[in-house]
Amino acid sequence: MTKLRALIQSRFGGNQAAFAAAIKRSPAQVNQWLSGHRAIGDAGARIIELALDLPPGYFDMADTTSRFTRKGLSNVEPGPPIHGCVPLISWVQAGTWCGIVDNFAPGDAEEWLPCPRKFGPHTFALRVRGLSMEPRYQAGDIIFVDPDARADHGKHVVVRLDDEQEATFKQLVVEGGQRFLRALNPDWPGPKLIPIDGNATICGVVIGKWVPE
């Protein structure tokens, strides 16, 4: 199906497995749709439209270029290719991520989100809470966290402190061989720098964010 194939290419970079995960269907079923051995049908079309926030009746629309686009009046461009989907997990899960990553089941995630950045095999997503990382990160923003990315000075990291059950989100500061965590919010009432001295584990580095509407 041409329209479905174009959708998978534009939203998931052609990654059929990522598309299948996003709509919660098996890769085999998606392959049958693309090969023409099985029709999507009205039920399948509605499932895809809801899962990917497409307009109702998307697959019933004519696959033609808008007259506005033809005249050069469009104010949107195609987005970056999607490199796959990552699980949105809780901050408690993030605090134990290093231990659960190899046994993580698809049903353990709140949902699976498409990520427009290349990422490592253990990448996960978190919903930002609190005010400590404002104004760059607002409560409710989704951050993508890659445990395989290198945690250098200035990177934004998710860290588990040894005496805390949950993870925390701060900027990593490396100075004079010492590592610290810093809140970005200049009005944050807590300590500006929290020293890391064998009492914390970096769970991953933030590689991007998504702002839900």
pLDDT exceeds cutoff 50 at 164? yes
Mean pLDDT of the chain: 80
Residue 24 within a domain: yes
Do 95 and 20 fall within a single domain? no
| Distant-in-sequence, close-in-space partners of 103: CB < 8 Å, separation ≥ 6 | none
Contact 185, 131 (CB under 8 A): yes
- Is 76 part of any domain? no
* pTM, to two decimals: 0.62
Q: How many domains, in total, are found in the chain? A: 2
Residue 79 located in a structural domain: no
What are 101-151's pLDDT values in tens digits? 555 555 567 778 878 778 888 888 999 998 999 999 999 999 999 999 999
> 204 in a domain, yes or no?
yes
Q: Is residue 78 part of a domain?
A: no
pLDDT at 106: 56
- Mean pLDDT comparison of 21-25, 85-89, 91-95, 181-185, highest-scoring range: 181-185
Using an 8 Å Cβ cutoff, are 125 and 142 in contact?
Answer: yes
Output the pLDDT for position 97: 59
- Are residues 103 and 6 both part of a single domain? no
Question: In this structure, are 51 and 145 located in the same domain?
Answer: no
Q: What is the mean pLDDT of residues 25-49?
A: 84
User: In the chain, pLDDT over 70 holds for what percent of residues?
Assistant: 82
Bridge partners of residue 201, in order along the sequence: 160
For residue 39, tell me if it sits in a domain. yes
pLDDT, mean of residues 53-79: 57
**C-beta atoms surrounding 180 within 10 Å:** 18
User: Is it the case that residue 1 has pLDDT exceeding 90?
Assistant: no
- At which of 45, 70, 95 does a domain end? 70
CATH number of the CATH domain containing 180: 2.10.109.10
Q: Which domain holds residue 8?
A: 2-70
Could you give the count of Cα atoms lying within 13 Å of 156 in the half-sphere of its Cβ? 16
- Among candidates 95, 201, 205, which has minimal Cα distance to 148? 205
